[in-house]
Structure formats: C-alpha cells, structure tokens
Amino acid sequence: MDRIDVLISAEQIRTAVNRVAQQISTDYHNRPLTILGVMTGSLMFLADLIRQLDMPLQVGMIQASSYRGTQTTPGTLRINADFLPRLEDRDVLLLDDIFDTGQTLSALCTHLAAPAVPSASPGKPRSLKAAVLLWKEGRQTVTMQPDYFGFRIPDQFVVGYGLDFNNEYRHLPYVGVVHPVTPLPVA
C-alpha cells in the first residue's frame, strides 16, 4: 500500500471552498454564470463549490487528457468538448483540481475563446476565467494564472478530493501527499 500523508484536511478544504464561492458570488454579482468542470479531477471541487453558489448558474463538463510522452515534455492535450452547453455570450468559469504546469487550463482557455471548428462550436463566451483548488508552486510554464484558488502547495505529488495517482485515491475527502511503493509519474 502507498503511504499517504494528509496535507490539507477536509475541514480546511471546506473553509477554502466557501471562501472561493464567496469571491465568485461577489465578483459575478448575480450575473448568470456557466461553470465548466474539467474532468475528472474537478468532480469534488465542482460538487462542493456549486452548492455554495446562490446565483443563476449553468454547469457543464469538459474533458482534457494530456499524454505526457517523455519525462519532461508535456504531451499534446486532447480536448473533448462534446458535452458542453451553449457558451455564446455567457460568463464562463473553468474549474480544475490543480494548476501544475498550467498547460491544461491555458489550452482550454485558448480553445474556448477561439474554438477551432466553428460549426461544432459551443459559441464564444462573453468572459472566461479559471478557478483551481490547488496551485502548485514553481511549476508554471504558461503566462496565464488562475483567477481563483484554494491553496498554494509545494511541488509534491498529491492525491484525494478528485486528484488521482493511476486513477486511485480520487475519493479521499482530504488532499494528501502520496509516497508510492511503485514509482511516481514524472510530469
């Protein structure tokens, strides 16, 4: 069994999610919002956050899978936007579990702001922002930054609250640092 040390407790997460929800409510000020969760890691953050939002809200999911070919180069990102609601003239907030290199959210923002295939396009959002639960320090390779975040964390591989290691541990109610018996993936 891998050893997992708690980094952020369920209680700390709850407090941070409430804070982010408050910031979003204040900023959007009852303007209709579309929150798009990035599958699969955002599932818990999405579920907990939207239940704290008392405002006009649509929710959708978008899939982004990165294939990291070698140890240091991020692979190409495959985006599946088939399940998106209409985004035309909507205020859109992308939601992901963690901002690591930033490649995923940066590519998704580019994709949504100027969709490559106009006929299949969900439409151009009026505004586009990003929120993450975790922001891993010192890893960014892009200029964009999340507009909302729960915690900054050191450069360690974490699991739980939606985040996985080989698809395990997403269900943990806390965020923990994993010390695997098998080697970690290198991003």
Q: Which stretch binds ligand IMP (CB under 6 A): 14-22, 79-87, 96-104, 119-127?
A: 96-104
- Annotated catalytic, 147? no
Q: Which stretch binds ligand IMP (CB under 6 A): 23-31, 48-56, 117-125, 154-162?
A: 154-162
Which part of the chain contacts Mg ion (CB under 5 A), choosing from 40-48, 74-82, 126-134, 147-155? 40-48
Q: Which is nearer to Mg ion, 41 or 125 (CB)?
A: 41
- Of 68 and 124, the one with the shorter C-beta distance to ligand IMP is 68
* 104 makes contact with ligand IMP (CB under 6 A): yes
Segment 2 to 21, residues that bind ligand IMP, using CB under 6 A: none
The answer to whether 100 contacts ligand IMP (rule: CB under 6 A) is: yes
When asked if residue 74 is in the footprint of Mg ion (CB under 5 A), the reply is: no
At 157, give phi and psi (nearest 5°): -80, 120
Q: How many Å apart are CA 17 and CA 14, to the nearest integer?
A: 5
Answer yes or no: are the C-beta atoms of 142 and 102 closer than 8 Å: yes
Nearer to ligand IMP, 87 or 133 (CB): 133
Q: Determine contact, residues 125/90, Cβ cutoff 8 Å.
A: yes
Structure tokens at 117: 């295939």
Question: Does residue 160 bind Mg ion (CB under 5 A)?
Answer: no
- The helix/strand/coil state of 12 is helix
Q: Do the beta carbons of residue 14 and residue 39 sit within 8 Å?
A: no
Buried b / exposed e over 58-67, threshold 16 CB at 10 Å, is: ebbbbebebe
From the CB of 99, what's the least distance to Mg ion, in Å?
10
Pick the catalytic residue from 100, 147, 155, 164.
100
- Residue among 13, 33, 163, 172 that touches ligand IMP (CB under 6 A): 163
Residue 44 beta carbon to ligand IMP: minimum distance, rounded to whole angstroms = 13
| Contacts (Cβ under 8 Å, ≥6 apart) of 39 | 61, 62, 63, 64
* Beta-carbon contacts of residue 80 (< 8 Å; ≥ 6 apart): 62, 63, 64, 65
DSSP state, residue 178: E
Toward Mg ion, which CB reaches closer, 28 or 100? 100
